[in-house]
Structure 1
Amino acid sequence: MDWPSAIKGFKAYMKLERSLSANSVEAYARDIDKLQQFAEQGTKPVKPDDIKLADLRQFINFINELGMIPSSQARILSGVKAFYKYLLTEELIDSDPSELLESPKIQRKLPDTLSYNDINKLIAAIDLSKPEGMRNKAIMEVLYGCGLRVSELTELKLSNLYLDIEFIKVTGKGNKERLVPIGNEAIKALKLWIQQVRPNIPVKKGHEDIVFLNRRGAGLTRVYIFTMIKELAAAIGLQKNISPHTLRHSFATHLVEGGADLRAVQEMLGHESITTTEIYTHLDREYLKSTIIQHHPRN
């Protein structure tokens, strides 16, 4: 078995069997690329089905010596374990060499959060006199008001907006769909963008159902959202290094601090936990909506 064919099969498996997004599949493939480079750097290159536990331990030491932080090492190790689980499932190997491989200990670092005042300042810094101003305000309101991932925002569809009943449907990791309550401020901003500005944009074919478009009528990129938020932060003199995920984390933090039930917040974020997944999968939608409306500061 050679590395290119093994990695190609692994990518197809992760996409078709695990239903992972293209970004996640590529991330896993990059992790195995690193293992391949390590395996082939010696005088006697090692094929994927000849790798032993000792080789994998040397690989972990290798990436540790490169200066990778424990969280990055753990992510790569997760990719390696998934790769060998795939080879074992497909009966391309007889035993899994990664089974006894230990993960590096990780100290969880909590992401930065913004105060409600900072959120208001960021939104107030948007120049509504510019054509994209109304769109950018709606983006900020939805990111913070619904706690979306940036990919969930860029892929948000008009057909998945149920503003009359105050819900939107988003597609999260693993193509899993969930309903998320949406509050008044985000609804108002969305309606202004959709009804007054978006109709004036010539929409590109294939992007007719995308909510947020650029001036050429195509969907926005993740990079644009990152750049927009960093420019707003600079405009108000915010010293923190923020990203779209900062708004998502602030959304959750403000709800919990306001007294919202942790299970409801977990459901709204679309998170899964190995030990408590079942707790978060059967919550009543009306309860979710009342939770966000009652506790989110922008309602």
Structure 2
Amino acid sequence: MTDRDATLDRFADAFIETTDSYRITPGDDVTSAPMPDGEVVARATELLVTTLFDVLRDTRLEAMADRIAWGIVHSVHKVAGQIEGEADKAAMAVRRLIEQNDGSEIGSVELEEAQMLCQSLDETQDALACMRDYAAATYHAETGRPWSAPRASLVSSKRTASVVAATDYLAARRKRHIDARAPKGPVVIFSGGQVWEDHRLLYAALDSIKVRVPTMVLATTGQDKGCDAIAAAWAARNACHLIPFSLDRKLGNRAGFARNEQLLRLRPVEAVVCQGSGLQSHLAREVRRLGIPAHFFALANQHHNRATR
């Protein structure tokens, strides 16, 4: 299967109707209109990014193309995130209505409408995430640099199978979130500083691990730039589950060390630690102490890597 075929398969999976009636804003009219054709959307998504580079190439605005293209990808990413948040709220509303349901006709109608809203939002978020991922891949192809989200990861959710009962739907949705946020598989932990340029060096290290551990799950320290952003882009490119561990700010100065402890409690089979702050130094010491197979990279490594290519 070619990359093109794989892309079209992903769009075909994401752009299908999972509910007969569709509404993503309470109070709006319900529609039964179909989803757009996945192949057409894939072509449009690619053109949205590539046309910009083509039009500005060899002009004085050529240097602006990658900045504008980054913003295009980010805009789709931001909307997908907003829809995901609305879907989470809708799921909470469904759960509340199930608990309050007294068997009345009014209660049943409210529950059906709430479930339709929740399922419509899930369907929409999957489609937008697919567009975002493909736009990011196109940006990478044009610039040679991975697009990285300022928040969270690029890993799209997995579509839940068709569900009829509200209770079944919520259980399936809950399982989908568990699969996405606590997936099963050998864990590889990753941490590095926010200043890092050579993504090829880190890609090569992660590629070598994935060859040996094909079902790996990548857990990072969840920073929005530098090493962790590169790791997130690699995970999206390789369809690898990503678990970004953000800081618990309530812990104050101990937040970073607590995050390191969380990573180590995952019992990782391997680790990648790049030079950064004292938190990376602490994690590297603990990785060595526990005897976890590891790859350590200093800032000088990337300069050496560029010089030898």
**TM superposition score normalised by structure 2:** 0.22
Q: Whose RCO is larger (CA < 8 A, sep 6+)?
A: 1
**TM superposition score normalised by structure 1:** 0.22
